[in-house]
Structure 1
Amino acid sequence: MEFRGTGIGQGVAVGPVVRMAERLPEPVDRPSHLDPAREEERARASLSVVAGELQRMGAQAGGAAQDVLEAQAMMAEDPTLVDDIVKRLADGKTAERAVFEAFASFRDMLAAMGGYMGERAADLDDVSQRVVAHLLKVPAPGVPNPGHPFVLVARDLAPADTALLDLGQVLGLVTIDGGPTSHTAILAREKSIVAVVGAADAATLADGDTVIVDAANDLVVQDPTPEQVAEARERIAERAARAAAPVTPGALADGTPVPLLANLGSADGAEEAARLGAEGVGLFRTEFLFLDANTAPSVTEQQAQYTRMLSAFPGRKVVVRVLDAGADKPLSFLNDAPEENPALGLRGIRALRHSEVILREQLTALAAADAATDADLWVMAPMIATVEETRYFTNLCRELGIKVAGVMVETPSAALIADHILKVADFASIGTNDLTQYTMAADRLLGTVANLQDAWHPAVLRLVAQVGEAGRVDGRPVGICGEAAADPLLAVVLVGLGATSLSMSPSALADVRASLARHTREDAERIARAALAAEGAAEAKQAAQEAAAASAPTPTGTPVP
C-alpha cells in the first residue's frame, strides 16, 4: 500500500515503524482543593521549568532549532497567557486545567488566523503538554526509544522533539498532519532527516510495519516487496556515495558553471556550509539580529555579525538580504500594527522605507563589514514590486558604499517587469517560496492550501523564465534562493529557464550537484520546455522526469534509449 504526502529533501529510508506516544489526556475539570494562590505558585513554577528546559534544548540543538525552541520558551512565560491562567485559577480551577484551557484558547485563536500564526498553534500544544506533564509529575510525551533503528510515525512532531532526534536511530520520519512549512518540515530539512509530512493515510500504520519513506517521490510504501526494498537500499547507497565524493564546483555536464550557494540564517552555519561544498552564500537572512528585540541592533552590533559571516567566505560571493520584516515577522520597532492581510501589507522594502533609518544603519554596517573583509558582498532588497522601489534601494546602496545592489523577485509584478528592473538593479534573486505563494494566491504557511504551494506549477515556471530571459538580455545574474533550488530535478529546470546560480539549504548541495552534472545546457533547456508545456504542477514534474530520463547517462556513460 502507498501513502502520499509531501517529501522533505531527496532521501529514502527503509525500516520498521514505531508510533509516537499519544498525547496526555485532557485534565479533568474539577474544583481545586488548594487555594488560588497556591495553584498560581504551582503553575508559575512549572511554566518556568518548562521555559528553562526549552532554552537548554535550544542551546544544545543550535541553528534554526534554537530559534524555534527559544520562541517556544517565550510562549511558556507569555504575560497574556499567564494572566489568563491566573484568572481561571481565581475561578477555582486546578493549575493543570487552567494551563490547559488558557493554552487551548490561545491555540484556537492562532489557528483561526491561518498562515504562519496558524502553523504555530501546534507549538502551543506542545508547550501546554509539557507544563501539564510537569504539574502532574509524569513524563511529557516524546520520541520513543525502542533500542533499534526505526521509522518514526507521528501525528506531528513538536519542535523540541524534531530538534533532538537521535539520527543514529531515526531512519526516517512520517507525519500525518503538518505541511511543507511546518516547523517539523523546516527542522527535518535542516537536519537532513528523510521525511514525508502530511501523509494523512499513514494513520493506519502500526508498530512493526516495514515501510519505505521516499521523500524524493512524496511517498510512503507499506509492506514493500523485496524488489522495492532492494531498489531503495541501492538508492540509499548511491546517495551516500555522492555525499562522500570529493566536492567540486557546481556545473552542467558540458562544463557550464552553475555556482551552488548556501541559504543561511546566521553566521553559525557558515563553516558547515563550506564543508558541504557551498561556493558562497546566496541568501544570508539578517532577521536573526532583529527578532525578539525591542529596539533595532546598533550599527556596531550588526557590523560584528556581518564581518563574522563575510570572513568565513574569503574571495567568495555572499548575498545578504536586508531585513525582511512584516507578514509572519512583525517587529515592535518597525511594523507591529495589526493588518487585515499582512502578507500583502507593510513588509519587506515597504516597511524599511517607512522606517528608513533602520535600512540606512543596516547598509552602513554592511558596507563597513565589506571594507574589513575579502568576501564579495552583494546586497538585495526583499519584496520588490516596482521599478521605483528598485531605484530607491539601489540609489541608497550607492550612497552608503554598497558596491553590488540587487533585488528579490518574489512578486509576479517584479517578474513581469524584470526587463525594466534589471536595467536598474545589478542582479536578481528569485525567492520561489513567496513567488509561488503570490502567483497561486495560496498562503505558503497554510497547510490547507499546501497542494497549491508548488514551484513546479507552469505559471510559476513561466515567471522564472521571464526573469531569466531579462537577465540574459541585460547581462545580469539571476539566482534562485527559494526552496525550489534544493529539488535536484527542478534545479535543472531552473537553470534551463535562465538561472545562473542556485542557493539552498547546505544539506541539499550534494544531490543538486550530482543532478546538474548529468545534463548539458541543451538538456536543461529541453527539460525546462517540457515542464513549461504542462498544464499543472504534477504534470510538469512528470514531463521533466521523462525528458530527463531521455538524456541521463547510464553508469557506462551511454545515453538511455
Structure 2
Amino acid sequence: MPDRLTGIGVSPGLAGGPVYRMPDPVTLPAAAPVSDVAAERKRATAALTLVADDLTRRAEAADGAAGDVLRAQAMMAADPMLSSDVAARVEAGTDAPHAIDEVFEGHRAAFAAAGGVLAERVADLDDLRARAVAACLGVPPPGVPDPGEPFVLAAVDLSPADTAGLDPARVLALVTEQGGPTSHTAILARAAGIPAVVRCAGVTGVADGTRITVDGGNGAVEVDVTAEAVASAREAEVTRRAALSTVTGPGRTACGHRVALLANIGAAGDATGDAEGVGLFRTELMFLDRATAPSFDEQVSGYGEVFAAWPDMPVVVRTLDAGADKPLPFLTQPGEPNPALGVRGLRTARRAPQLLTDQLHAVAAAAHTASARVKVMAPMVSTVAEAVEFAEAARAAGVTEVGVMVEVPAAALQAARLLEVVDFLSIGTNDLSQYTFAADRMAGELADLLDPWQPALLELIAMCARAGTAAGKPVGVCGEAAADPRLAPVLVGLGVTSLSMSAAALAPVRAALAGHTLARCRELAEAALHGAPPP
C-alpha cells in the first residue's frame, strides 16, 4: 500500500484519524418458490413503502441540499410504476427480494443508457435497491459503520441517504473511489462542512483502523501516518476554522470591492449562515411528491414564508425546474429518449403554460406583502426568444426584476443579447459544465472534464460577466463552483458580481475574497483562463 493516495479535493478542510470502510450491501439469498402470490406482492410493496417513508422522514429532518436530495430519492422509491413493475414480476413467479432486485437493475440500465442527468441517478437507484432488498429480507439496511470513535469514512461511493445523514462530529472526512466534483457526495459534504476527496483510487484497500490524514482542498490522502501527524492535521484545521471566523460582514475583496455572498435554499427553514440574501430559491420542492400541482394559495403561503425569513434582502426565485431527474406525475412524461436534453426547466411551460403563469402570479402576490427584494429567474433558457417570453410573462404577473439562468452554452454565447431583455443572469456551473463538455456528472472517469477550473468553462463565465459589465447589470454564479474558496477570487476577477452557495461555504469564500485585491483577482482569472492550475 503506498504511503500517499491522491484524488480530487471537493470539500476543503484537514482531518485525520482511523479509516473505516462502508460495509458491503446485503447479499441476496437463493431464489425461493412463490406459493402465495398475494402475500409475496404485499411483502414487496411493504418494503418499498418502508424505504420511501424512511427517506421522507430523513428529508424532513434535514436542511438545504441534504433535504432536497432525500426528497428526490423518496419520490423515486414511491413511484407507482416501480411498484407495479415489481408486482408484475412477483405475479410471474419471482420472490419479492429478487423481483425488487431485477426491477431496479432494469431501471438502472435504462438510466445509464439515457446518459445526462438521469445517469446521475444510478447511484441513487443502487442505494434504493439495497435498502428495499434489506427491508424485504427483514435485515438492517446498509449504513455508515459505527466504530465507537471519530473516523474517516472510505467507500467506493456514497449514497445520498448515507451522505446526508452524516454527523460531522463523528465522521471526520470522506474519501471515495468514485464520484466527481458535482456528485451528491461532493455537494452534501460541502454543505455539511466535512472535508472530502473523491476519485481516490485504492482507498477501500486500506485496512480498517489505519490512521490516515485527508486534505479536502488538494485531494491528498496520507496513509499509515503517526498519531502526531493526525494531531497536527486536526490542529491545522482548528487554526483554519478560527481564521475563517475572524472575517465577518458583507463579502468584499481586500481593497473593498463588493461581492454579494448569497445562500442556496429550498425552504424557509434552511440553514443560511450569515448570507446577504438568497441567490437560489429552489421552488420545485413544493411540487415534488404530489399527484397534482400545489394550489395558488398554497404557493403564495409557501413563498411568503421564505420572503418573510429574508426581510429587506434580495431573494432570487427559480421557477419550477422539473423534468429529467425531477419528474412530476402531473407534468413530465416518461420515456423521453434523453431527458437531460428534453423537456425540463422552462421548457415544461411549452407543455403546461398555465403552471408557469400561476407560479409567477403566486410569487408576485407573496412578494407584494413582503419587504424582501424578490426577483425571478427561469432555468434552462437557451434562446433570446425564450427569455423575452419569460420576461414578458413575469412582468405581466407583477414581478419587477427578471432574470434567466445560464446553464447551456447557447445562453452564454448570447449573454449580451439576453441582457437586453432581462435584468440579470445567474450562471449554474453544474449544468453548464455538463453540457459544455458533454460529460455526465456521474461519469467518474470524466471528472477532469467537470472540473470548474477548465478554461473553456471559465471563458463562458467571462463572456457572461463581460456582457453584464457592458450592460451595467449583475451576473452571479449559483453553481457548486461558487462554493470553492480557491475559485471564488477567480470568478470575481472574471467580473462576477455575486456568489450563491450552501451555508457552510460562506465563511471560507468570504475569507478567500478578503485575502485578495480586485487587481490580484483579475491576475488569477487571467492565469486560470490560460490553464494555470488551482493555487
Q: TM-score, normalised by structure 1?
A: 0.88
Matched residues in 1 for 2:389 and 2:486: separation? 37
**Between 283-292 and 335-344, the greater mean CA deviation after superposition:** 335-344
- Name the SS of the counterpart of 1:443 in structure 2: coil
Provide the residue aligned with 1:549 in structure 2: none
The answer to whether the aligner puts 1:296 opposite 2:298 as a matched pair is no
Deviation at 1:70, TM superposition (A): 4.0
Which of 6, 9, 16 pairs up with 2:8? Answer: 6
- Tell me if the contact between 1:114 and 1:446 (Cα under 8 Å) persists in the aligned partners: no
The answer to whether the aligner puts 1:473 opposite 2:470 as a matched pair is yes
The answer to whether the aligner puts 1:456 opposite 2:434 as a matched pair is no
- Name the SS of the counterpart of 2:446 in structure 1: helix
Structure having the higher Rg: 1
The answer to whether the aligner puts 1:183 opposite 2:184 as a matched pair is yes
Which of 21, 27, 37 pairs up with 2:29? Answer: 27
Deviation at 1:92, TM superposition (A): 4.3
1:29-75 Cα distance to aligned partner (Å, 9 max, x none): 3435x433333343334333333333333333354434433444444
The answer to whether the aligner puts 1:203 opposite 2:195 as a matched pair is no
The answer to whether the aligner puts 1:39 opposite 2:40 as a matched pair is yes
Question: Aligned pair in 2 of structure 1 residues 414, 227: CA closer, same or farther (>3 Å)?
Answer: farther
- Tell me if the contact between 2:383 and 2:410 (Cα under 8 Å) persists in the aligned partners: yes
1:527-542 equivalence runs, <5 A:
527-534=524-531, 540-542=532-534
Question: Aligned pair in 2 of structure 1 residues 73, 374: CA closer, same or farther (>3 Å)?
Answer: closer
Provide the residue aligned with 2:349 in structure 1: 352
Matched residues in 2 for 1:316 and 1:138: separation? 49
Matched residues in 1 for 2:378 and 2:518: separation? 30
- Tell me if the contact between 1:242 and 1:510 (Cα under 8 Å) persists in the aligned partners: no
1:75-224 equivalence runs, <5 A:
75-224=76-225
Q: Given residue 440 of structure 1, which amino acid in structure 2 is its aligned partner? A: F
**Between 115-124 and 463-472, the greater mean CA deviation after superposition:** 115-124
- Tell me if the contact between 2:346 and 2:380 (Cα under 8 Å) persists in the aligned partners: yes
Q: Given residue 266 of structure 1, which amino acid in structure 2 is its aligned partner? A: A
Matched residues in 1 for 2:132 and 2:463: separation? 52
Q: Given residue 238 of structure 2, which amino acid in structure 1 is its aligned partner? A: A
Matched residues in 2 for 1:386 and 1:356: separation? 18
Matched residues in 2 for 1:297 and 1:372: separation? 20
Provide the residue aligned with 1:314 in structure 2: 311
- Tell me if the contact between 2:114 and 2:339 (Cα under 8 Å) persists in the aligned partners: no
Deviation at 1:174, TM superposition (A): 1.4
- Name the SS of the counterpart of 2:30 in structure 1: coil
Which of 486, 494, 506 pairs up with 1:497? Answer: 494
Q: Given residue 444 of structure 1, which amino acid in structure 2 is its aligned partner? A: R
Deviation at 1:251, TM superposition (A): 0.5
Deviation at 1:372, TM superposition (A): 0.4
Deviation at 1:315, TM superposition (A): 1.2
Q: TM-score, normalised by structure 2?
A: 0.92
Q: Given residue 399 of structure 2, which amino acid in structure 1 is its aligned partner? A: I
- Tell me if the contact between 2:11 and 2:186 (Cα under 8 Å) persists in the aligned partners: no
Deviation at 1:390, TM superposition (A): 2.2
The answer to whether the aligner puts 1:241 opposite 2:238 as a matched pair is no
- Tell me if the contact between 2:56 and 2:71 (Cα under 8 Å) persists in the aligned partners: yes
Deviation at 1:415, TM superposition (A): 1.9
Which of 470, 488, 508 pairs up with 1:511? Answer: 508
Question: Which of the pair has the greater relative contact order for Cα pairs under 8 Å at 6+ separation?
Answer: 2
- Tell me if the contact between 1:9 and 1:508 (Cα under 8 Å) persists in the aligned partners: no
Provide the residue aligned with 1:554 in structure 2: none
**Between 18-27 and 179-188, the greater mean CA deviation after superposition:** 179-188
Provide the residue aligned with 1:552 in structure 2: none
Matched residues in 1 for 2:299 and 2:448: separation? 39
Matched residues in 2 for 1:398 and 1:209: separation? 60
Which of 382, 388, 393 pairs up with 1:391? Answer: 388
- Name the SS of the counterpart of 1:489 in structure 2: coil
Matched residues in 1 for 2:327 and 2:165: separation? 28
Provide the residue aligned with 1:60 in structure 2: 61
Question: Aligned pair in 2 of structure 1 residues 18, 360: CA closer, same or farther (>3 Å)?
Answer: same
- Tell me if the contact between 1:172 and 1:213 (Cα under 8 Å) persists in the aligned partners: yes
Matched residues in 1 for 2:357 and 2:99: separation? 47
**Between 513-522 and 235-244, the greater mean CA deviation after superposition:** 235-244
1:426-452 Cα distance to aligned partner (Å, 9 max, x none): 111111122222222223344343321
- Tell me if the contact between 2:20 and 2:209 (Cα under 8 Å) persists in the aligned partners: yes
- Tell me if the contact between 1:14 and 1:210 (Cα under 8 Å) persists in the aligned partners: yes
Question: Aligned pair in 2 of structure 1 residues 445, 365: CA closer, same or farther (>3 Å)?
Answer: farther
Matched residues in 2 for 1:109 and 1:337: separation? 12
1:480-525 Cα distance to aligned partner (Å, 9 max, x none): 1111111112110010010111111111000000000011111111
Deviation at 1:363, TM superposition (A): 1.4
Q: Given residue 279 of structure 1, which amino acid in structure 2 is its aligned partner? A: E
Matched residues in 2 for 1:347 and 1:134: separation? 33
- Name the SS of the counterpart of 1:379 in structure 2: strand
Q: Given residue 374 of structure 1, which amino acid in structure 2 is its aligned partner? A: S
Matched residues in 1 for 2:156 and 2:238: separation? 30
- Identity, % of aligned positions: 53
**Between 73-82 and 298-307, the greater mean CA deviation after superposition:** 73-82
Matched residues in 2 for 1:328 and 1:47: separation? 19
Give the aligned length: 533
Deviation at 1:528, TM superposition (A): 0.8
Q: Given residue 5 of structure 2, which amino acid in structure 1 is its aligned partner? A: F
Provide the residue aligned with 1:558 in structure 2: none
Deviation at 1:183, TM superposition (A): 3.2
Matched residues in 1 for 2:279 and 2:407: separation? 15
Matched residues in 2 for 1:233 and 1:504: separation? 25
Which of 481, 484, 488 pairs up with 1:484? Answer: 481
Matched residues in 1 for 2:215 and 2:4: separation? 10
- Name the SS of the counterpart of 2:426 in structure 1: strand
Provide the residue aligned with 1:416 in structure 2: 413
Deviation at 1:260, TM superposition (A): 0.5
Deviation at 1:12, TM superposition (A): 1.9
Q: Given residue 401 of structure 1, which amino acid in structure 2 is its aligned partner? A: G
1:69-116 Cα distance to aligned partner (Å, 9 max, x none): 344444445433334433443454433333333333333333333333
What runs of 5+ residues in structure 2 fail to find an aligned partner?
A: none
Matched residues in 1 for 2:228 and 2:302: separation? 51
- Tell me if the contact between 2:90 and 2:99 (Cα under 8 Å) persists in the aligned partners: yes
Matched residues in 2 for 1:417 and 1:316: separation? 29
Deviation at 1:470, TM superposition (A): 1.5
- Name the SS of the counterpart of 1:268 in structure 2: coil
Matched residues in 2 for 1:78 and 1:480: separation? 33
Which of 14, 17, 20 pairs up with 1:15? Answer: 17
Deviation at 1:389, TM superposition (A): 2.3
- Name the SS of the counterpart of 1:488 in structure 2: coil
